[in-house]
Structure formats: C-alpha cells, structure tokens
Structure 1
Amino acid sequence: MRNTVARDAILEIINTTDEALSQSDVQAKLPEGLCNRVTIYRVLDRLVDEHLAHKITNIDGVIKYANCQSCTTKHKHNHLHFNCERCNTVTCIEAVEPSFKLPANYEVKNVNFLVSGICPDCKEN
C-alpha cells in the first residue's frame, strides 16, 4: 500500500505522543481538513497491520492506539497499559511484563493487560 500524507501525519502523531490516542484524539491533532473520520480509522488499522501501532481498549471500551517499539512480523505487547481514571489517558508501561500460565492446548494471539488508577500528573493536582 502506498504512503499518503494522511498516513504519514497520523504515524508522526502516534510516534511523538507518550500516551495512547483514540481516533478523536488523532483527529484533533491533525491539520483541519486533512482527512475525515473514516480515513483516520482506515489509516490506524493499516498502521496496526503494518506493526507500527497497537490497539488498547480502555476501561470505557474506547479503542486507543499507541506506537509499536519492536514489532516486525507479529505484535508482542506483553507489557502493562495504565488507564488513569481521572484524565482517562492510557500509557504503555514497558518495564512491567505480567506473566500468566494457560492450560495446555491454549494458544495466545493477543494480550491486553490494563490496570486503572490515578496517574502521576493527576495525583499531583
């Protein structure tokens, strides 16, 4: 698939933001009129398919997107995602890798560890 101005702009936003972003968050950061809501969703899905972003479902069921650090042919996101209950930000916590043990014959395809609480910024205020 070819690169587009919208794809490049959305990828830049995802790569330069420390927290996971929803479609509406991305749209708010884009230059006005660059692309519509449907195009943003398509680009975000494409970035996930290209292993440049990963999806996180927050505590409210909203899908957010964060950049991939080291995915090449398969997503590997066995890190913790922290959802602040005050500001509703979702942050990848790479230093924490929760572990679990599944019964035999189960195959893991996707992992989403989500912890909710109060982030450091909200705790200070």
Structure 2
Amino acid sequence: NGAYYASSELARMDNSEWLGVLFRLVCEFEPDEVISTGLTAGERCAVEMADSRTVIVSSGERDRIVMKCRGLSVTVVRDVLSSRSRWEDMKSGMRCGMTFTNGRVGIVVPRADLPRQDFEINF
C-alpha cells in the first residue's frame, strides 16, 4: 500500500497529513540539518522518526523549514496563502529547480540539474 514504517504512528497525531509529507521529505532528501523557528512537537517527531541523525536547529523564519542537504537547501513554506507574495518572489528568483505546492504548503527544490518548473499537485 506504499505506507512508510512510521505511517501508523504519524496517523495518530494532529496534522497527520502534513507530518507525513514532512516525514517523506526528510526521508527523500536526508538533510544534515533542519532549520526552523517554532517546530511543533509533531514536526520535530516526524523529522526524528525519518532520520535520527538529522540535527534540528532552532533558527530562521517561523513560516519556513529549511533542509540543508549536501550543498542543497530545500525550503518548505508552511503557509503559502499567508505569504503569497514571498512565495511568488522565491519562485521568480529561481533560475533552475522546481517548486511544488498544494495551495497550502510550498516546497522549493533549487537543484541545478533540474529544469525550471512549477507544479501544483495534491499532497
């Protein structure tokens, strides 16, 4: 069914859908650090369940989570709706890489080997 090993535990938490997305992002990008101010207990748990080696740093902007991954910084904007102009500025400043949004959460992957594209998807 494509479930991750932490799916049942995450399903019992508040905001389980969002925590599942965050968990999968950490699994995919394997960040050395996750930087954010104001991680919830659930977000911290999701990061730690995905990779216990990831260092969580309390810094940066409250509306963003930045994953530092071997020379790449993947940015997650928690609430695209309330920071729409900043989201658009982030996208317009990119020369390569991809963005993904479901209208609520935005993910920026600025990899040089990716073509410049924006996706609106259901996640």
TM-score (ref. length: structure 2): 0.29
Structure showing greater radius of gyration is: 1
More contact order relative to length (CA 8 Å, sep ≥ 6) = 1
